[in-house]
Amino acid sequence: MEYFTELGLLGLFLSAFLAATILPLSSELVLTALLLADLNPVILVLIATAGNVLGSLANYAMGYWGSDFFLQKILKVSDQTLGTAKSRYTKYGKWSLLFAWVPIIGDPLTVVAGLLKVNIVWFLLLVTIGKFARYCLVAYVTLL
């Protein structure tokens, strides 16, 4: 994480993007470090949100255009993880995308949204709201 912090705003964007993919990274640590370095919190939250939403969009694209082979053999998304994400999406519908930021279930949820060909406008709107709210909360707690 220190490497991303040293890159400043670009590092925040990259860590947020990669954290939204299937890779196990945490952009909150980079955001917190940069907030504590007294950088503009509004800019930091917007950059983190943009990176994280674009990472989720990459997941959506993998689900939309990817095959089961690609998702399961190359990305190593298990049947259980995909099944859990599908059942959550089926139970809560498009509103479940507000929780795309939640660790473990959020990334597969965005892949499933692509698999199910969810309307891209709804996808972007709901994912952005959820991720923006999460980063606002992180910033607020950090700067208390």
pLDDT tens for 80-134 read 877 777 787 788 889 999 999 998 888 888 988 998 899 999 999 999 999 999 9
- What angle is formed at CA 115 by the lines to CA 109 and CA 119, rounded to 5 degrees? 85
* C-alpha span between 73 and 78 (Å, rounded): 9
Q: What is the pLDDT of residues 34-59, one digit of tens each?
A: 999 999 999 999 999 999 999 999 99
- Tell me the domain boundaries of the chain: 2-143
Mean pLDDT of 62-89: 75
Read off the pTM: 0.86
Residue 19 in this model has a pLDDT that exceeds 80: yes
